[in-house]
Homo-oligomer: A and B are copies of this chain.
């Protein structure tokens, strides 16, 4: 249980920027430990959908995934984005294997029930098969996971990449000292939204409670932080939120906001 495993989530904004993405992948390839990359989608799905005359419907900032849009995200996230990440990692000497949750049955979900809004083919994670993922790692493969899962009825489902990363981190905690790193476009959780350098270096439940009660932390960060603490409660060793360009420093514990219990 002493070996570390890094689960690294990269957002769509880096995927959308070829130079930033290439630099990030080269850094990812350098991490000398078992590791898993979970990626978001990026804007290209919306662009391809528009070119195919498929309307993107958003409700409260969230994409509605009807059947034509499911086909688009399956093509773009599971095909175009995932395979281009894999081939770039292979060229960087990293034995990447691109997966959706359906592949090897690694992440099973349930189609979100319709309450007030019908999100369509969207999945809420039910089970991460850590044993199967561990078998891949044991074969010296580096999983690169696209934001799609599957249901036992045979549906592909569009799924939140943050949730896939934290669910995977929790499941892998039975085998590894698991470190979850969310890479995004800021240097960490900021104490002042207008100052990109005002990074809160560490958060624990009491300091988080303080920051929340005084309104210091941007509301948009609350779901990610709540889910980070839940992942820690469920066995994950540390969670770090950092800039994609600072990945290698974050792996050393020298960048971003480090979240612990």
Contacts and interface: CB of A to CB of B under 8 A. Distances in A.
Contacts of A102: 83, 86-87, 90, 96, 98
Contact of A100 (B75, B98, B136): B98
Q: By DSSP majority rule, is chain A's interface helix, strand, loop, or mixed? A: helix
Interface string A126-154: 00000010011001010000001010111
Interface of A: 48, 51-53, 71, 74-80, 82-84, 86-88, 90-92, 95-100, 102-105, 132, 135-136, 139, 141, 148, 150, 152-156
B97 A99 contact: yes
**Copy number of this protein in the oligomer?**
2
Contacts of A155: 87
A154 B103 contact: no
A130 to B, nearest CB: 13
B90 A84 contact: no
Contacts of A98: 99-100, 102-103
Contacts of A78: 78-80, 82-83
Nearest to A131: B139
Contacts of A84: 74, 156
Given A78-B79, A79-B82, A86-B103, 17 more contacts: A48-B52, A48-B75, A74-B79, A75-B75, A75-B76, A75-B79, A78-B83, A83-B148, A86-B102, A88-B154, A90-B154, A91-B152, A95-B105, A97-B103, A98-B99, A98-B102, A132-B139
